[in-house]
Amino acid sequence: MNEIAMSIASSNAAGLKSDGRREGLWMLAVTLPAVLLITLLVLLPMGWLSWLSLFDENGAFTLQNYARIFSSGAYVPIIINTFIISFAVTLLVSLLGYPIAYLMAQSSPKVTSLLLTAVLLPYWTPVLVRTYGWIAILQRNGPLNKVLVALGLVDGPVQFLYQTSGAIIGMTQIMLPYLIVPVYIALRSVDKDYLKAAAGLGASPTVAFWRIYFPLSLPGFAAGALLVFILSLGFYVVPALMGGGRVTMIAMRIERSVMVYPNWGAASALAIVLLVVTVLLLVISVRLARLGGNFR
């Protein structure tokens, strides 16, 4: 009997091992196209940039490209300015986008569809066209300044364009959907019975929102805000046009290093530094999110 049981157990183990091997091969076949695509579009270009950043114009190995970023007085202010603008855009998008997502989540399906269409409608227009549209609106003799002067809110035209404020306004408009959609999905997933239970226990709508609704939407809000911040780090068109040459971000500096000088090593090193900093921010954000989940 023992021999029969051992034989059955060994045959079952062999069958499970065969099934596991077959499942592993199937998963490999399914994921292989995606892995090849990521390798071709992401890993190989990053490897090529890393290789270029470690060699000078004569093909000799050097770390001068990285040392120049931190020793030169030109690069560090650009990096700091890029992060300040990205943080300002993320803050404005959060202040504007969360109420819109909350309104969408609380509205009827018909109103929600209209609001969602209004949020996504600008994406049917290219970024360049939208940027020139904002330039027409924000210029000194544009409609916005005319309205402000007519209402008596300002004494004369306000200079919105060709400075940091212009770049921030244009980037904020483009980044809004990247926060509204994740927050809306998170808010829609919140069980309304929690709010009813809070109201039954005597909590006011304000207390119920801040103690229940808002904390439950934080994962979607954090994901959207992080996405907005990371995408803002690589902006080029909007700050180049609406900043009028007075606002320089990392992407603009990389383009100048390639097209004007040209210096592929310096441009590659700057791109790698931006990539490393972005990855570090992602890691820190994930760690903070996990700590927040443990303390909740």
Instruction: Give which of 94, 90, 123, 104 is closest to 184, Cα–Cα.
Output: 104
CA distance 159 to 179: 28
Yes or no: say if 252 and 234 are a contact pair by the CB < 8 Å rule: no
CA distance 160 to 173: 15
Q: What is the mean pLDDT of the chain?
A: 80
- Tell me what the mean pLDDT of segment 80-93 comes to: 91
How do the domains of the chain map onto residue ranges? 1-29, 74-295
- CA quadruple 247, 251, 254, 259: dihedral sign: negative
Tokens, residue 221: 């809000």
Our CA dihedral for 25, 26, 31, 35, rounded to 10 degrees, sits at: 20
Write out pLDDT tens, residues 98-112. Answer: 998 888 888 888 888
CA distance 216 to 104: 16
Q: What percent of the chain has pLDDT over 90?
A: 5
Q: Top-level CATH class of 74-295?
A: mainly alpha
pLDDT at residue 292 greater than cutoff 60? no
Write out pLDDT tens, residues 22-75. Answer: 777 777 777 888 888 888 887 888 888 888 888 776 777 778 888 888 777 778
- Tell me what the mean pLDDT of segment 243-264 comes to: 79
Half-sphere exposure of 170 (CA within 13 A, CB side): 32
CA distance 113 to 147: 30
Our CA dihedral for 248, 250, 254, 260, rounded to 10 degrees, sits at: 10
Write out pLDDT tens, residues 191-242. Answer: 777 777 777 777 777 777 788 778 888 888 888 888 899 888 888 888 888 8
* 139 alpha carbon, distance to own chain's centre: 28
- Helix and strand element counts for the chain (H, E): 14, 0
- Tell me what the mean pLDDT of segment 116-140 comes to: 84
